[in-house]
């Protein structure tokens, strides 16, 4: 996975609360971004189950991105962001 691919997929997610599909399941998610875009977070919960996806994403002044999943693997977070399809 290219970092640019992840960044583009994350950028397509709207701020605030939304719902959509991932891996055949419905999720509700909340995306928050700071005004300067350097601090970002996502929390998603499966609506009819128990799965969650949560992470913080930091962008440093040197064009570096730090992805910090919350008690889950980076692979799970990346797969979710790339595969999530928001409702129109």
Segment 1-17, tens digit of pLDDT: 578 899 999 999 999 99
Q: Which residues of the chain have pLDDT under 50?
A: none
The pLDDT of residue 44 is 98
Share of the chain above pLDDT 70, in %: 99
Quick one: CA dihedral 61, 13, 8, 24, positive or negative?
positive
The structure's pTM equals 0.92
CA angle 68, 70, 71 (to 5 degrees): 120
């Amino acid at each position: 996975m290219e970092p640019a691919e992840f960044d583009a997929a994350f950028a397509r997610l709207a701020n605030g609360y939304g719902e959509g599909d991932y891996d055949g399941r419905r999720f509700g998610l909340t995306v928050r971004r700071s005004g300067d875009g350097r601090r970002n977070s996502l929390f998603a919960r499966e609506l009819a189950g128990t799965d969650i996806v949560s992470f913080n994403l930091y962008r440093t002044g040197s064009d570096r991105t730090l992805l910090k999943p919350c008690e889950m693997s980076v692979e799970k977070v990346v797969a979710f962001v790339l595969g999530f399809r928001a409702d129109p």
